[in-house]
């Protein structure tokens, strides 16, 4: 074997090793990512309340018993803002069939009010602030990234979780579930 072929063998082995580690790391990360359903809601979940930007509050205990989508978002999060019109359209189309949608803003109340004045939505928005950050983590999004959406079925079970921007297929598959 020549020096050149030995170096080439080491290079191929190194590349294969890095690829194997990357694949294993990716598989591990995906296994921990909060994409699927299942799991229980955190204790006290249904007793939570959040102020609304326009006054009043979102009380989770009033939302029990019907399908519920909770979308965690922020005004400074481009994918959050991009998915809001689609979520709003879903809510308007499905509210008569018992579907509920709540947006929980992990943001400054003044920023949320200013944003909603320019870009209103039909579904209720709660001002979650730091409480929302902790709730996101307790619900399976340990990284705390946004957007994060949770689908709770009518029986109160977590049917699906989605880290990242929703697409129409997500909402339609949840509607059919």
Question: pLDDT tens-digit profile of 112-151?
Answer: 999 999 999 999 999 999 889 999 999 999 999 999 999 9
Q: In what order do the strands lie in the sheet with 148-152?
A: 57-59, 49-51, 125-127, 100-105, 68-73, 148-152, 158-163
CATH topology of domain 45-176: Glutaredoxin (3.40.30)
CA distance 120 to 135: 24
Q: How confident is the model at residue 43 (pLDDT cuts 50, 70, 90)?
A: confident
Residue ranges per domain, the chain? Answer: 1-32, 45-176
Could you tell me if 89 and 175 are in contact, meaning their C-beta atoms sit under 8 angstroms apart? no
Bigger pLDDT: 1 vs 126: 126
User: Please, is 149 exposed, middle or buried when counting C-beta atoms within 10 Å of its C-beta (0-12, 13-18, 19+)?
Assistant: buried
Q: What pLDDT shows up at residue 80?
A: 98
Using the Cα atoms of residue 47, residue 135, residue 94 and residue 55 in order, give the sign of their dihedral: positive
pLDDT of 33 > 50? The answer is: no
pTM here?
Answer: 0.79
User: Mean per-residue pLDDT for 60-82?
Assistant: 97
């Amino acid at each position: 074997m020549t020096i050149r072929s030995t170096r080439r063998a080491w290079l191929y082995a190194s590349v294969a090793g890095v690829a194997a580690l990357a694949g294993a790391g990716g598989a591990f990360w995906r296994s921990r990512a909060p994409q699927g359903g299942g799991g229980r809601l955190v204790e006290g979940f249904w007793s939570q309340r959040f102020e609304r930007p326009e006054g009043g509050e979102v009380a989770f205990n009033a939302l029990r018993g019907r399908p519920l989508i909770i979308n965690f978002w922020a005004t400074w999060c481009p994918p959050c803002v991009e998915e809001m019109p689609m979520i709003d359209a879903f809510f308007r189309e499905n509210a008569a069939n018992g579907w509920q949608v709540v947006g929980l803003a992990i943001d400054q109340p003044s920023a949320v009010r200013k944003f909603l004045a320019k870009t209103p939505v039909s579904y209720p928005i709660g001002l979650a602030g730091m409480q929302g950050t902790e709730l996101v983590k307790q619900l399976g999004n340990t990284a705390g990234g946004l957007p994060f959406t949770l689908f709770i079925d009518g029986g109160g079970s977590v049917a699906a979780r989605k880290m990242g921007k929703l697409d129409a297929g997500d909402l339609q598959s949840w509607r059919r579930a």
